Amino acid sequence: MNDGSPLYLAFFLGALVVMLGIGVWVARRTSSGEDFLLAGRRLGTPLLMGTTLATLVGTGSSLGAVGFAYENGWAGALYGIGGAAGVLGLVWLFSDVRRHGFMTFSEEMSYYFGASRVIKGVVSIILLLASVGWLGAHIMGGALYLSFLTGMDPALAKVVVALGFGLYTVIGGYLAVVVTDALQGTILFIGFTVLAAVALVHTGGFSGVQEGVPEAATSMLGVEALGVLPAVSLALVIAIGVLATPSYRQRIYSAADVTTVRRSFGWVALLFAVFAVLPAIAGMAARTIDPTLENPDAAFPMLATTVFPVWLGAFLLIAGLSATMSSGDSDAVAGVAILLRDVTQLVTGRLPRAENMVRYSRIALVGVLGLALAGALLADTIIDFISLMISTVLTGLLVASLLGKFWPRATWQGGLAAMVGGSATALAVQNVAAWSEFWGNPSIPSLAVALVAGVAVSLATPRSRVSREEALRLLAEERATMDVGTHLRADASDTDTGTEPEPPEPRP
């Protein structure tokens, strides 16, 4: 535990004041639900790059990667490699969905399966729970930094971190998230570069960095320490997390156009691939300096207090907290969008009206943050939780989205089968020690079973009779009530009467 230098806490509070000021400034420019949840769908390349990179460098790829490298050497770089691959996959496979005006990943999934309400309902529940889980993990990561460096009680640190990014997010919405992310992304990239460079000098270069790490961990990407299959599984599970996490889809929906998505994500993939080596260097240096840490996740804050002077350690505290907060605020807004666009319709049969969206969004944000904080207060670990959640929830979802988008014969029943098959396989592998040791994590068998289940059930069930054009129209009619991403509401006959529009005909 650190001596609790007040300078660390002062730096943290100063950063929060800046972020809160940005939230207040942005709130003056937020007049609709589309502004609050999607920044008006007009993000250009600089802001889209900044917010995507900052979200990508989250708890797992910073705090987790440093801790993983502490134990497994160069294998810590697999986080960055997997993340970069996931971003390139988004560019190649899904960047074109921007033109359809979707608001949530649940809505996009519904479109692939004939505007199926079953698919949209199931996916919305899954993704809402996943978003709350991600958010809880980021709160835990930020609290670990804060408690280690300031001596704050860990439970209190979780509350402070949640309130920290919760306040500016509730006030300014998604645009506040984007602007603060761009600032935080710059800080964390500089911070991790400084961290790696000074750690190299402090330990005597690359040979010194690797001195305290097991020899197998100094192999190419730590493959000899992990094994080939577990190493591939680790990079794959991170890529899946990018391809199927709703916060990255929200970046696509909020961009100005498809070209902006492709340009921005291409640069992000390149920068993140470069970033991959920095946490690995930091983790190995921490192992060389102090090989006795009980919790590898404490490697980063240990470096900040051992290697650096107090003022530089305080800057690195802000860099580390920026990594967790810039991802946490994104998951919070993504969860709220799913809650209001999809879960609300599932439960009540209707969507909120446009004039209520900003108020409802702020209320929902408070609720989502409260749930995530409650989970974080009950949990102790971070990275194992994240890996299990991706394998259990997102592998089947990714397979279902690929089948629905690229295979015309896919049915909504097949999509459900892919999700169920992927989750069941992940849980089975995770609970059989021999399987878990062999695979490293359940991502590969989970993907395989999800694919087989999705194809088999699709072939055994009737083809959808709803065309892509009709599915898009049905979803646009629903979304028009909220006036988010579509102009249909302005043409609807009910706009002058103040009555709720009739819902579309029921569909599977």
| pLDDT for 386 | 56
The closest of 486, 489, 478 to 120, measured between CA atoms, is 478
Torsion of CA 135, 137, 139, 140, to 10 degrees: 170
Confidence band for 389, pLDDT divided at 50, 70 and 90: low
The strand pairing partners of 255, in sequence order, are 43
Confidence band for 497, pLDDT divided at 50, 70 and 90: very low
Q: Which of 55-59, 138-142, 232-236 has the lowest mean pLDDT?
A: 55-59
Confidence band for 21, pLDDT divided at 50, 70 and 90: confident
Confidence band for 494, pLDDT divided at 50, 70 and 90: very low
Residue 163 has pLDDT above 50, yes or no: yes
Q: Are 372 and 332 in contact (CB under 8 A)?
A: yes
Cα–Cα distance for residue pair 23/15, rounded to 1 Å: 13
Q: pLDDT tens, 402-422?
A: 999 999 999 999 999 999 999
Mean pLDDT of the chain: 82
Confidence band for 33, pLDDT divided at 50, 70 and 90: low
| pLDDT for 503 | 39
| pLDDT for 388 | 60
Q: Is the sign of the CA dihedral 97, 102, 107, 111 positive or negative?
A: negative
| pLDDT for 323 | 67
Residue 236 has pLDDT above 50, yes or no: yes
Residues 6+ apart with CB under 8 A from 503: 349, 350, 478
With tokens 């949640």, the residue in question is 162
Q: Is 366 exposed, middle or buried (0-12, 13-18, 19+ CB in 10 A)?
A: middle
| pLDDT for 331 | 82
Cα–Cα distance for residue pair 436/427, rounded to 1 Å: 10
| Average pLDDT of the segment spanning 242-254 | 90
Of residues 52 and 455, more confidence is placed in 455
Q: pLDDT tens, 47-102?
A: 899 888 888 876 666 667 888 888 888 888 988 899 999 999 999 999 999 999 89
Percent of the chain with pLDDT over 70: 87
The Cβ-side half-sphere exposure at 323, using a 13 Å CA radius, reads 32
Structure pTM?
A: 0.83
| pLDDT for 506 | 40
Q: Which of 127-136, 235-244, 378-387, 390-399 has the lowest mean pLDDT?
A: 378-387
Q: Which of 118-122, 246-250, 384-388 has the highest mean pLDDT?
A: 118-122
- Measured between its terminal Cα atoms, the distance across the chain in Å is 56
| Average pLDDT of the segment spanning 188-213 | 82
Residues 6+ apart with CB under 8 A from 249: 94, 97, 102, 104, 105, 108, 334
Of residues 382 and 115, more confidence is placed in 115
With tokens 């169920």, the residue in question is 420
Confidence band for 380, pLDDT divided at 50, 70 and 90: low
| Average pLDDT of the segment spanning 184-192 | 78
Confidence band for 371, pLDDT divided at 50, 70 and 90: confident
| pLDDT for 148 | 73
Of residues 1 and 10, more confidence is placed in 10
Tokens of 450: 């999800």
| pLDDT for 487 | 47
Cα–Cα distance for residue pair 414/400, rounded to 1 Å: 8
| Average pLDDT of the segment spanning 153-172 | 84
15-381: CATH, from 1.20.1300.10, 3.40.50.300, 3.10.310.30, 1.20.1730.10: 1.20.1730.10
Q: pLDDT tens, 320-338?
A: 677 677 777 778 888 888 9
Of residues 250 and 381, more confidence is placed in 250
Residue 216 has pLDDT above 80, yes or no: yes
| pLDDT for 434 | 87
| pLDDT for 32 | 65
Residue 29 has pLDDT above 60, yes or no: yes
Percent of the chain with pLDDT over 90: 25
Q: Are 117 and 475 in contact (CB under 8 A)?
A: no
Confidence band for 500, pLDDT divided at 50, 70 and 90: very low
Of residues 223 and 483, more confidence is placed in 223
Q: Is 508 exposed, middle or buried (0-12, 13-18, 19+ CB in 10 A)?
A: middle
